[in-house]
Amino acid sequence: MALGLPALVGTALLIRSGLGGDDFQPARWLATRNGPSYGQSYLYAYPLPVYLPALPLAALPTAWSHAAALVVCISLLGLALWLWRSSWRNWLFLMTSTPAVYALITTHVFSCLALLGCSLAFWASERRRTPWLLGLGLALAAIRPVNALPLLAVIVWARRAEWQRLAAAAGTAIVLWAPFTVWAFALDRRWPLDYVAMLRAYPVAGLIQFVYAAGPIAYLAALIVLAALSLVIAAYRGPEAGVAAGIALSVAVAPLPGTYAAIFALPALLVAGRRSGYAWLPGIASAIGWLATISLLALNLAPAIAAYWYVVNSYPLLRALRSKPSSVPLEASQRSNQWQ
């Protein structure tokens, strides 16, 4: 209950102050036609089809829209992290005590959707669920293609023998986005060109800005390295470690405009927290994350840099699983083997 108190107080203050999902602001401009059109502001950070499903919420009165953004963010993030089968303690701790979550619920709804898509796609793939669920996850994950790249690489590699399921999932993702894509072209036939132009104007921070400045070839090489690292981890440490660690590493490759980007490293913390000897990791990482964020703010530095702290703490996924010691005494085991 003590951990949940900051979240409840923060939620009440956010609703009272009128802060909500900045992702909804461009959608509100589209819904009300009262603001910059698509392509006239870098706040349109996503392709035009992504905003169209949010128009019903964007058309609500401002206060209701902000409150809805808050509830949607918390719900989507909670479901996304729950799909990684962690303990309730670690799940609750990350949901209530991580700076990235507090940064996220005031801004980026679509990042929550993308993380949910990554979690759902991997969950459906590992449990051999219907390709429709896998396709739905891939469709949502595609909102953030850089963060979804490790997921796609590992799933295609791990399920390469199940090409029919993969084809059905890809077809599902295409079908789900097709109506919104057609709608987007009906609204603005130039939206792909506008989106490319906005990518160049979008603010890029963090270590990747040096690669980004070197040109598209250098950035493409960074994406290839990200996919390759995810596949190597998946080959030696298992698909779950490959996907979780790869999504965490994608934080270092994607643009880093805010602390919210660290949510893509939270699945890695949950997976690592299930391992023997690392149950303490989510709590310690969150506590130090707060200290790093507060220190950066005190020094008048960008707190987004603290997102790298969560990426670093995915290191247990690079290590081999520890084998649990047998509870059967050695003498009893030897006597049992004599009868075989």
Q: Distances in Å between the alpha carbon of 126 and those of 84, 120, 129, 130, 277? A: 11, 10, 8, 11, 25
**pLDDT (tens digit per residue) in 36-54:** 888 888 788 889 999 999 8
pTM of the model: 0.85
Confidence of residue 128 (pLDDT cuts 50, 70, 90): confident
At 66-115, the pLDDT tens digits run 777 778 888 888 899 999 987 777 777 677 667 666 665 555 788 889 99
For 96, the 3-state DSSP assignment is helix
Q: Cβ of 164: how many Cβ atoms within 10 Å? A: 9
One-letter amino acid of 187? L
More confident site: 254 or 179: 179
Please report, for the chain, the start and end positions of each structural domain, with discontinuous segments joined by +: 4-41+49-318
Euclidean distance between CA atoms 287 and 62, whole angstroms? 34
Least confident of 46-55, 127-136, 165-174, 257-266: 257-266
For residue 124, pLDDT over 90 is answered with yes
Distance CA 216, CA 219 (A): 5
Q: Is 163 exposed, middle or buried (0-12, 13-18, 19+ CB in 10 A)?
A: exposed
Q: Is the model's pLDDT at 3 over the cut of 60?
A: no
Amino acid at 163: W
What amino acid occupies position 15? I
Number of neighbouring beta carbons within 10 Å of residue 291: 12
Helix axes of 4-17 and 88-97: crossing angle, nearest 10 degrees = 40
